[in-house]
Chain A
């Protein structure tokens, strides 16, 4: 029979759970900060040491909370906790395309006193500096950057192509040598990576997507750019599988020696040089091609921001933490231990980085030329509609012209633009 104790078991269990887990106090003192960021790599020790150095110097305790690496989930978590109006977080990371949006929402503290815009523009790369300075005020500080690159097979391609025509010619020539090899791998899955590939093609066709605050998607250059991406698939220069491919799909196929070219971020480089990689020592890196000459790569990467909801005393400590984590020394730790590209110009001359991460040091021209996706508060709101239309065009569901017209209509509706 059921003893009455058993009926109590759930309650006891709950009491045990509650006793084991003290509820967090809502009002923390100024010497305890909460930092939310995405784990940088499998080994937490170098980053922990970096934070510990700050704790020793400042006497402030830092609680580190991990965000999921899926950007959508991370964005959701930040919007949920910031939108709820609480003081759960003091310092957090931002994707380069979130800054304008969250700054306009009033959730980011103005950091202009500690990081004057002029100094940010001078010390940091142009791309991220342009993303964090909005309307003459600094809302975040660049932490590390990313940039779209062209990877090519040195053994199959004598000289990296500078134009789309040269890319196509190089693929045909390489196929004469290695029959059946795939041509150009890129990211055509319906997600933000496709938008990056699209903007790179747009810049490669001499286009721009921003007119004031307004996104301009339905332009001749945009139609050419999207048509170009579609033709890569339709003409067989890229395999059909790119329409579902993200970074890892492209990287794994390229690493197996199954393609001549790949568009990807710098993270792929050390993996391609793995002892088990079939293309080890056969890969070169170049700027992405354009219609008439090299195109800028899309800028990626993360910034550190301070919550506008943190009370003044804690905000001061938070700003010191941001300064510590974005210092030249911290840039070196991130580059050497985690392969993250520094956001500061000077770091690319840092002898530690040049000695221990020569690939990163050599990327300076690429990150200097990197361009941000349109910096507007409406970007995140429109990005979702844009990805779907780009994907529809790339997979052949709609013509590029029709897809872009639909994307434009949705972007305008979001921004409330009268046509």
Chain B
């Protein structure tokens, strides 16, 4: 088959996935973009075109800026911790030999557990009067949810507990794709384990790491359930992320236009993060240019 034929076949193979995306996901996106240019409060019967006024309002909205900062902080810290914790775990899973299936399954349970249940479990453990941590350490970890400047860290902790397995699994998939013979050959040549890791494993793992960073940071930027169960955004909005602000504006307060604008700004932030990671991802692709 000619290169042109291959390309035609490629287009045919890509089309169904592209269509599935466009069909279900693109429509709502465009609808939301349009809605964000309107002032629409259905329960008050208000609906008119206001241009960029919703975005202008957000620029001066202290709650929005706070939510943006909370979200960015949550994302940066949670993802960094998850990656640092997941890398050794992935290596251990890769090399555990007999019984690795067992550890892998065990480690996965926090992540399979519905987020609401995981968050409620930690809410119980962190409950400031009666929780297990309050009994062990009443003025420290036990009281974290009552401290406006610290409560967000509890949410980060729960996210790390729940999602590190996901990151480890992504990295493990990357490790498994690295041909065994490469490392074996290097070791035969007398390279130390650390050296093999640094000069062979890590560079080859780079795409998997960047992929994990990409998916996790985009997902963490939309954090919702964990915060909702632990604090509902309190005390005083100090733990409220963008998604919760958007949720409340859309559905509790019923202000659809403004809620759509918040969603769209969240979306644009996510796109910016994605582009940043993508350009990092595109810098060097060792597997493609051997």
Q: Mark B218-244, 1 if CB is under 8 A from A, else 0.
A: 000000000000011111111010000
Interface size of B in residues (CB-CB distance below 8 Å): 31
A391 proximity list for chain B (CB < 8 A):
234-237
Interface-side segment among B193-201, B205-213, B248-256: B248-256
Residue of A nearest to B250 (CB): A76
Complex: how many Å from CA A79 to CA B234?
25
Give the contacts of A360-388 with B (CB-CB under 8 A).
Answer: 377-378, 380-385, 387-388
B130 proximity list for chain A (CB < 8 A):
249, 252-253, 256
On whether the beta carbons of A75 and B251 are closer than 8 Å, the reply is yes
- Given A243-B146, A244-B235, A253-B130, check contact A388 B251 (CB 8 Å): no
On whether the beta carbons of B145 and A105 are closer than 8 Å, the reply is no
Other-chain contact of B232, A106, A191, A249 (Cβ < 8 Å): A191
On whether the beta carbons of A377 and B252 are closer than 8 Å, the reply is no
B266 within 8 A of A: no
Complex: how many Å from CA A80 to CA B231?
25
B41 within 8 A of A: yes
A397 within 8 A of B: yes
B88 within 8 A of A: no
On whether the beta carbons of A75 and B234 are closer than 8 Å, the reply is no
B128 within 8 A of A: yes
A392 proximity list for chain B (CB < 8 A):
148, 235-237
On whether the beta carbons of B255 and A381 are closer than 8 Å, the reply is yes
Closest Cβ of chain A to B45, distance in Å, is 7
A39 within 8 A of B: no
B255 proximity list for chain A (CB < 8 A):
381, 414
Residue of B nearest to A249 (CB): B127
Residue of B nearest to A383 (CB): B252
B101 within 8 A of A: no
On whether the beta carbons of A388 and B128 are closer than 8 Å, the reply is no
A341 within 8 A of B: no
A72 proximity list for chain B (CB < 8 A):
248, 251-252
Complex: how many Å from CA A42 to CA B237?
34
A244 proximity list for chain B (CB < 8 A):
128, 145-146, 151, 231, 234-235
B27 within 8 A of A: no
On whether the beta carbons of B252 and A240 are closer than 8 Å, the reply is no
On whether the beta carbons of A388 and B129 are closer than 8 Å, the reply is no
On whether the beta carbons of A397 and B235 are closer than 8 Å, the reply is yes
B-side binding surface: helix, strand, loop or mixed?
Answer: loop
A241 within 8 A of B: yes
On whether the beta carbons of B237 and A380 are closer than 8 Å, the reply is no
Closest Cβ of chain A to B284, distance in Å, is 33
B188 within 8 A of A: no
- Given A239-B129, A253-B129, A395-B146, check contact A388 B233 (CB 8 Å): yes
B135 proximity list for chain A (CB < 8 A):
none
B12 within 8 A of A: no
On whether the beta carbons of A190 and B232 are closer than 8 Å, the reply is yes
Residue of B nearest to A233 (CB): B146
- Given A75-B251, A76-B251, A395-B148, check contact A102 B236 (CB 8 Å): no
A281 proximity list for chain B (CB < 8 A):
none
A sample of 20 more A-B contacts (CB under 8 A), given A258-B129, A387-B234, A391-B237, is A75-B251, A79-B42, A79-B251, A79-B254, A101-B254, A105-B43, A190-B237, A241-B129, A241-B146, A244-B151, A244-B235, A377-B44, A380-B254, A388-B234, A388-B236, A391-B235, A392-B235, A395-B146, A395-B236, A414-B253
28 A-B pairs whose Cβ atoms sit less than 8 Å apart in the complex: A72-B248, A72-B252, A76-B252, A101-B43, A105-B43, A189-B232, A190-B237, A239-B128, A239-B129, A241-B128, A244-B128, A244-B146, A244-B231, A245-B129, A249-B127, A252-B130, A380-B254, A381-B41, A381-B254, A382-B253, A384-B252, A385-B63, A387-B234, A392-B235, A393-B236, A395-B148, A397-B236, A414-B253
